[in-house]
Amino acid sequence: MTAPVYSSTVTPRRADRAHEDRRLILEYRRSGDPRVRDRLVFTYAPLVKYLVGKKLRTLPAQVDADDLTSAGLEALIRCVDRYDPEIGSTLEAYIWTRVQGAILDELRRDDFVPRAVRRHEREAVNVGSRFAREHGREPDDAELAAELGMTLEEFRVRQHEVATSAVGSLNATIMDADDAEIERLDTLADTDASLDPEQAVMDGAAQERLARAIDELSDRDRSIMVMLHTHHMTLAETGAVLGVTESRVSQLHTRIRAKLADALHDDRVLFEMT
């Protein structure tokens, strides 16, 4: 069976799909035949995969795609069981809305960070980017706080909450150099003196790519990364050296990590673990 093509364009094929969905739903309501329901589930399973993949592109690497897919498939089955063809919307539109909601609910369940903190993080990044475009420079803490409608004290508290929320699971699945799935735990340095030579070569190559990406940073950004991740200085200590506040260092560090994440898309484990 050919899976539907997902786009916002209304086509004769989509109209035919909606007509066929209605026919199958009515048949399922009449007969209760699980094979009819399975046919609809099979037809729209690729939509679940599409929505999960689309959402994953905006999420940290540690988010488990399997958990989101399971939540989406469960929502899909409920949609087929509950859909009323008389409500006006098509089955595809109904599934689209419900599956997206199930994916978001699954993310909220797994996220220990309060939603207000996540919302502040997004708003601070967006407002900071807009300020930089308009003024040709990045805002300081007071300016960013004002743009967000917050006091400086409130802003610094929120920035600290954002800085302490960047964690990841050592059991999260990642791709190694051979495109094989492994757990992040397996990428940690072995304390045994007899290291595997092949793994050492792969790790060395990844570290070289990271080093090249860091070399391309500005002098200040590179200094921040060295102080935080080579000399293991605290945010406050780094801020004292640079002459800026602790929350400002946190803001700069978040921006640098985002820049490295973009440059090292295939080696995300390197900056997820820093």
The CATH number of domain 12-110, selected from 1.10.1740.10, 3.40.1280.10, 3.90.1150.10, 3.40.50.1100: 1.10.1740.10
Does pLDDT of 176 surpass 80? Answer: no
Q: What is the pLDDT of residues 31-89, one digit of tens each?
A: 989 899 899 999 999 999 999 988 888 776 667 788 889 989 999 999 999 888 887 78
| Count of C-beta atoms within a 10 Å radius of residue 167 | 10
Identify the burial level of 91 via C-beta atoms within 10 angstroms of its C-beta, where 0-12 means exposed, 13-18 middle and 19 or more buried. buried
Domain(s) labelled CATH 1.10.10.10 in the chain stretch across 187-274
Q: pTM of the entire structure?
A: 0.41
CATH node for 113-167: 1.20.140.160
CATH 1.10.1740.10 residue spans of the chain = 12-110
pLDDT by residue (tens digit) across 196-217? 555 555 556 666 777 777 778 8
Query: Where do the CATH 1.20.140.160 domains begin and end in the chain?
Result: 113-167
Higher per-residue confidence, 264 vs 111: 264
Q: What gap in Å lies between CA 227 and CA 217, rounded to an integer?
A: 14
**222 with 215: CB under 8 angstroms?**
yes
pLDDT of residue 192: 52
Question: DSSP alpha helices (H): ranges in the chain?
Answer: 12-31, 34-56, 65-82, 91-110, 115-135, 141-147, 152-163, 197-215, 219-229, 235-242, 246-263, 268-272
Q: Per CATH, which fold does 187-274 belong to?
A: Arc Repressor Mutant, subunit A (1.10.10)
